[in-house]
Amino acid sequence: MSTIQPGRVNTPPAHQAPNPAAPVPRTEPSEAFAPGRGEVITDLDRIRQLKQQLESQPDAHIVVSACLAGFNVRYDGGNCNTDNLRTLVESGKAIPVCAEVLGGLSTPRTPSEIQGGDGLQVLQGKARVETKLGQDITDNFTRGADIALKTALQAAAGGQILFAVLKSKSPSCGVGSIYDGGFAGGLKPGDGIATTRFRDAGIDVISSDNWRLATEGEN
């Protein structure tokens, strides 16, 4: 696992930087995508128990949104650092991925939101992702979600991925609610595209808001 410098990282580490020469299987829009097998975990006591399990189980890993671990990958060039997640990355227990960077988008970038649905409907070909300027960048988001899942599975190297902690409200990483497409901070029900991909692969997910509530003050 690479060492990171939260707040100062401009170059994604290896597991965030896709090799452009490597063929990546694409997810074609498909009706076959259905609500995921991975669970949305909201119970704060359960989240605390899972954190303890992660720390005591040597082969266990989690996936985290890279911005939560201090990487400057947000659309505005910043991050949403959460100290205990950054610590888990530094200790090799958490795998940071940013689906939007992995999908080929630059940092900083124009904000984007899902129009006409949620992450599931994007993967079913029924909704799209547009920038605030109206550019359709659905392909970047779906490709990035695919690569994020593949990257996480490779980095876990056969060990168990206990769960993923993903940034609330994001069109990629949102859990249970996402920005509504109006670019004014409004929300609608649904998961982001990468979150849908992780749940489809059977990975349980926790929103960053619930993680913070459950683990506030813990390292």
Site residues for ligand SF4, 161-180, by CB under 6 A, read 167, 170, 172-173
Buried b vs exposed e over 188-219: b needs ≥16 C-beta within 10 Å? eebbbbbbbbbbbbebbbbbbebbbebbeeee
Based on the shown chain and the rule CB under 6 A, indicate whether residue 99 belongs to the binding site for ligand SF4: yes
Based on the shown chain and the rule CB under 6 A, indicate whether residue 199 belongs to the binding site for ligand SF4: no
CB of residue 78 to ligand SF4, shortest distance in Å? 9
Q: By CB under 6 A, which span of 38-46, 63-71, 117-125, 197-205 interacts with ligand SF4?
A: 63-71
Interhelix angle 208-215/44-56, rounded to 10 degrees, is: 80
- CB atoms under 10 Å from CB of 92, counted, come to 11
CB of residue 60 to ligand SF4, shortest distance in Å? 21
Q: Which of 9, 62, 63, 73 binds ligand SF4 (CB under 6 A)?
A: 73
Q: Which of 61, 74, 93, 197 binds ligand SF4 (CB under 6 A)?
A: 74
What is the rounded distance in angstroms from the CA atom of residue 149 to the CA atom of residue 153? 6
The type of residue at 87 is T
Tokens 């808001």 locate to 209
Nearer to ligand SF4, 99 or 162 (CB): 99
Q: By CB under 6 A, which span of 10-18, 96-104, 108-116, 120-128 interacts with ligand SF4?
A: 96-104
